[in-house]
Amino acid sequence: MTQRQLSLDGTAWLMLVGLSLVWGGSFFFVEVALAVLPPFTIVMARMTIGAFCLWAIVLALRPAMPKDRRTWRDLLVMGVLNNTLPFCLIVAGQVWISGGLASVFNATTPLFGVIAAHYVTRDERLTANRLAGVLIGLAGVVVLIGPAVLGDIGEQALGSAMVLLAAMSYATAGLWGRRLRHLPPLSAATGQASCSAAILIPLALAFDHPWDLAMPPLEVWAALAGLGFFSTAVAYLLFFAVLRRAGGSNAMLVTLMVPPSAILLGVLVLGEPVSAEQLAGMVLVGLGLVAIDGRAVARLKRLYRP
C-alpha cells in the first residue's frame, strides 16, 4: 500500500503564517536580553517560562499526557534537537553576529530538511518543485535582509557556524518529530518544553551562576516573557499542529517565512519603511513557497498541456 504524500493545505499554511509571526520576534527578544544576560540563562528562562505556560494550559484543558517511557524518551530527544541545542547555538552565535544574519542562516533549515526527508521518509519525497522552491526562498531571504549582511561572514565565522549548526539541528528535529505525531499538539509541546527546561536549568546554574548577575531591567524581563510565552508556548503549539498535519519538512518551511514576517511586523506595529530590496525579497520568498506548495504549478501545467 502506498503512503499519502504529506502536503500543506490551507489550514496548515495559516498555522505556518502564525508560527512565523511569533518566531519572527524571537531574534529581537534575544538581542534585547543579550545586553545584560548570558546565553544559557536566556535560553533557560525562555524554556522555563514556556513550560510553565504550557502546563497551565494542560491543567485547564486536561489533555492526555504521555505515560510510557518510550514517548518521554522521544520527547527528550526532541527537546534537545528542537530547543536546547539550537537555542543555545543561536543565542551564543548572536554574540558575534546580528539577528538579521542569524535569520539568514536559520532560513537554511528547510534546505537540509527536504533533502534529509527524501532519504529517511516515504511520504515527504524530494521533488523538483520543492528543491527549486527552497532555493528561491533562500535567495529571497538573502535579498530581504540585504546582501551586505553577508559581508561579515568571514570575520564572524564562529557565530555563523553556530547558527548554521542550529539550522541542521532544527531540520533533524523536524524528522524526529514524526515519532510524536500520535500526540495532541498541546501534549507534545508541553512534554518537549519540560524536557528542555529540565536540561537547561542545571546548565545555566553551572555555567552562568545567575545568582551573581545584576537584576535585569524591565525591558529585559519583557523580552524574556515574550520569548517564553509567544516564541515558545504559542509557537510550539502551532509547530506540532503543523507537524502532525503536514510533516516535518513542511513544518521547517516556517524559517523561510520568519524574516518577511519580522519586517511586516515592523511596518505594521512600528511604522518602519519598506525598501525596494525588502519588497523584492518578500516576492522571492512568496514565489519559493508557491513552488514548494506545488498546486499552482500543477494548475499551470494542466492549462498549458497540449
How many CB atoms are located within 10 Å of the residue 112 CB? 21
Total tally of structural domains belonging to the chain? 1
Tell the residue number behind the cell numbers 552565535, with chain if given.
Answer: 93
Query: How many whole angstroms separate alpha carbon 44 and alpha carbon 88?
Result: 9
Domain presence at residue 3: no
Domain that holds residue 113: 10-303
Domain presence at residue 106: yes
Cβ neighbours of residue 138 closer than 8 Å, sequence gap 6 or more: 107, 108, 111, 256, 288
How many CB atoms are located within 10 Å of the residue 2 CB? 6
pLDDT (tens digit, 9 = 90+) per residue, 8-51?
778 888 898 889 888 877 877 888 898 899 989 999 999 999 99
pLDDT (tens digit, 9 = 90+) per residue, 121-178?
776 677 777 778 778 878 877 777 666 655 665 657 788 788 889 989 998 998 898 8
Domain presence at residue 34: yes
Domain presence at residue 211: yes
Domain presence at residue 2: no
Domain presence at residue 5: no
pLDDT (tens digit, 9 = 90+) per residue, 193-226?
999 999 999 999 999 998 899 999 999 999 999 9
The pTM is what?
A: 0.79
Query: How many whole angstroms separate alpha carbon 204 and alpha carbon 84?
Result: 12
- The torsion of the CA quartet 117, 291, 21, 264, rounded to 10 degrees, works out to 150
Domain presence at residue 222: yes
* Eight-class DSSP state of 214: P
User: Are the C-beta atoms of residues 277 and 144 closer than 8 Å to each other?
Assistant: yes
Domain presence at residue 1: no
